[in-house]
A and B are shown apart, each in its own frame.
Chain A
């Protein structure tokens, strides 16, 4: 099952926090689709995900991105 985190329109650190909570809610593995609208959020979330061993796929060229996190 894929869960969705919509972090558009939010400033740091809220988007990262939302994704972190979603990872914990899923028990540390699964598929999360994340919508963001800033380069900073895209990078911060990618960094968090990779540091926790999640694979990150980025779609879109800005300013709106969809991140697919998988573990």
Chain B
């Protein structure tokens, strides 16, 4: 099977899984949303005070464990780290601020678009603007340096953390919080969510699925491999919304878990897209890389979780009413910090070359 057929088939399966999860109880247009689900996990762990977004999403746990087992089996599990972990934490943090201003990661953006939510089209334009900005920095010599091999223990810690969350999902200890209303209360049955996550993890590890990498590689190399996956998910979810779930509704207003403030949908995704390109991939890709033993990616994921908690504690996250002023400030501030990281993170060799 050719590469593109493989990632196309994977995209179709991911699209079908997302539709299934929505049919069986996940929030609307949120079959998968890596950013939202990490945010729900932050809520379930009690890291913030938002009572409507607390749920230990089995999709995330399944995704990491699925990718981890696949990497072990294919001998691609390799503990590495040490390429600017704190910078990656910060980029993960601001990526989340951006995604929560839009209300979704690039994967949910595709699902929103597939359901006719035109705000997601504005988000897509913002994402592409962020990717192009990231490419500008990379062409200038942006790099976070080389990761070094680490001891095996380091690589097992992140999947290990997910195993503990898996125990919590089934044991339901009282310190794990669960929303009674709002998006956190809406979820597919645990076993379905977990299985869908495992399959997503397996597929994403195998075909290297990345929702920002598609545009990045297209603009860089005219390479359409990852973009094939992106469009396969989009088309599958689009057809499923029309003919199966009957949830397709074209327009800007009244879309589920979305707002209509174009500027902030655009800039939120610009921030998320830029930070993702500087990290080397979207939140989904970061989770898979962390499962493969990349401790820097694990650090970026924790940055996202902390970003989500702060976003809800400081009233930075958007709601269907729009993005609060605090959030508007945070997005602009995040764009400045992220751009500075992109501008200033150049290895000595690239700087010398530029001077010569």
Contact = CB atoms under 8 A, between A and B. Distances in A.
Report if A and B associate in a common complex. Answer: yes
Contacts of B217: 13, 16, 44
B280 A48 contact: no
Contacts of B280: 11-14
Q: Give the most central of A16, A40, A44, A62: most B CB within 10 Å.
A: A40
B295 to A, nearest CB: 12
B76 A39 contact: yes
A55 interface: no
Contacts of B216: 12-13
Interface in A25-66: 37-40, 43-44, 47-48, 51, 61-63
A48 B220 CA distance: 11
Interface size classification for chain A: 20 to 34
Interface residues of B, number: 31
Interface in A1-37: 8-14, 16-17, 20, 37
Interface in B261-293: 279-281, 289, 292
Contacts of A48: 221, 223
A45 B341 CA distance: 26
B337 to A, nearest CB: 20
Contacts of B47: none
A51 B218 CA distance: 13
B352 interface: no
Interface stretch (B116-124, B143-151, B328-336): B143-151
B220 A61 contact: no
Given A8-B146, A14-B143, A47-B3, A63 B78 contact: yes
Nearest to A48: B221
A48 B226 CA distance: 13
Contacts of A43: 3, 208
A12 B281 contact: yes
Contacts of B221: 13, 16, 20, 48
Given A11-B280, A48-B223, A62 B83 contact: no
A39 B80 contact: no
Contact of A63 (B77, B144, B145, B220): B77
A7 to B, nearest CB: 9
Contact of A13 (B75, B80, B138, B147): B138
Nearest to A9: B146
A17 B146 contact: no
Contact of B289 (A11, A13, A20, A61): A11
Contacts of B75: 61-63
A40 B138 CA distance: 19
B213 interface: yes
A20 B75 CA distance: 27
Given A62-B75, A63-B75, A63-B78, A13 B220 contact: yes
Nearest to A63: B78
B225 interface: yes
Nearest to B281: A12
B201 to A, nearest CB: 15
Contacts of B294: 11
In this complex, the member of A11, A39, A43, A61 whose beta carbon has the largest number of chain B beta carbons within 10 angstroms is A11
A38 B281 contact: no
Contacts of A9: 80, 83, 145-148
B174 interface: no
The 4 closest A-B pairs by CB, nearest first: A11-B280, A9-B146, A63-B78, A9-B147
13 contacts: A8-B146, A9-B83, A9-B145, A9-B147, A10-B143, A11-B294, A12-B210, A13-B138, A37-B149, A47-B223, A61-B75, A63-B75, A63-B78
Interface of A: 8-14, 16-17, 20, 37-40, 43-44, 47-48, 51, 61-63
Given A10-B147, A11-B289, 4 more contacts: A9-B148, A12-B216, A47-B225, A48-B221
